[in-house]
């Protein structure tokens, strides 16, 4: 009897814990910082703008896809990945999905040089393009 009461009390306590907010609050992305990093890079981080255009309809050669409108198509590129997850994977593991018509030549080492804040900033910027 007493054991059951203890068990229920324990279960309630645990479910209370599960519902409490995560210990680490998610980092909010800053699109302006993202835009700056995208255009200028930093030390070990080559600018994304070297290879990507961001102006809709702009034509001419570029190594990577034009990212204007990426916010609209990111969520449907890879089944099972949300827009945010797709952009994150594209930056950190570009070799996992190669956009049709392009080659696997995106700079592969962003994962070693970008902070979580940098990634969130870039995602915030890109999803608004
Ligand atoms: C050396 C050239 C190069 C650089 C620098 C580069 N990319 Fe790329 N990127 C590519 C190429 C080529 C592709 C297409 C092949 C593929 O899917 O990996 C691509 C694909 C992408 C895609 C997927 C596009 C789509 O239409 O689905 C995203 C998003 C992206 N890059 C973001 C970035 C961001 C953000 C940076 C900077 C942090 C960056 N790239 C830097 C060459 C580059």
Is residue 122 pLDDT above 70, yes or no? yes
**Cβ 94 vs Cβ 4: under 8 Å:** no
Q: How far is the CA of 43 from the centre of ligand 1 (A)?
A: 18
Rounded to an integer, what is the distance from CA 92 to the centroid of its chain?
8
What's the mean pLDDT in 58-62?
A: 85
Residue with tokens 């034509």: 59
Is residue 27 pLDDT above 60, yes or no? yes
Nearest-angstrom CA–CA distance, 52 and 45: 14
Closest CA to 106 of 40, 52, 43, 42: 52
- Residue 24 burial (CB count, 10 A): 7
What's the mean pLDDT in 1-29?
A: 61
What's the mean pLDDT in 80-102?
A: 97
- CB of 82 within 6 A of ligand 1: the answer is no
What's the mean pLDDT in 48-54?
A: 96
- CB of 125 within 6 A of ligand 1: the answer is no
- CB of 107 within 6 A of ligand 1: the answer is yes
User: What was the pLDDT predicted at 59?
Assistant: 82
Band of pLDDT at residue 36, cut at 50, 70 and 90: very high
Is residue 97 pLDDT above 80, yes or no? yes
Nearest-angstrom CA–CA distance, 99 and 86: 12
Rounded to an integer, what is the distance from CA 55 to the centroid of its chain?
20
């Amino acid at each position: 009897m007493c054991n059951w009461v203890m068990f229920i009390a324990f279960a309630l306590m645990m479910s209370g814990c599960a519902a409490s907010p995560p210990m680490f609050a998610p980092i909010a992305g800053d699109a302006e910082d993202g835009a700056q990093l995208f255009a200028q890079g930093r030390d070990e981080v080559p600018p994304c703008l070297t290879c990507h255009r961001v102006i809709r309809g702009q034509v001419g050669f570029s190594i990577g896809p034009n990212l204007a409108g990426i916010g609209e198509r990111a969520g449907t590129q890879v089944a099972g990945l949300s827009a945010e997850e797709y952009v994150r994977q594209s930056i950190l593991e570009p070799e996992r999905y190669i956009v049709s018509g392009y080659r696997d030549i995106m700079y592969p080492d962003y994962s070693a040089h970008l902070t979580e804040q940098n990634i969130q900033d870039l995602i915030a910027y890109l999803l608004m393009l």
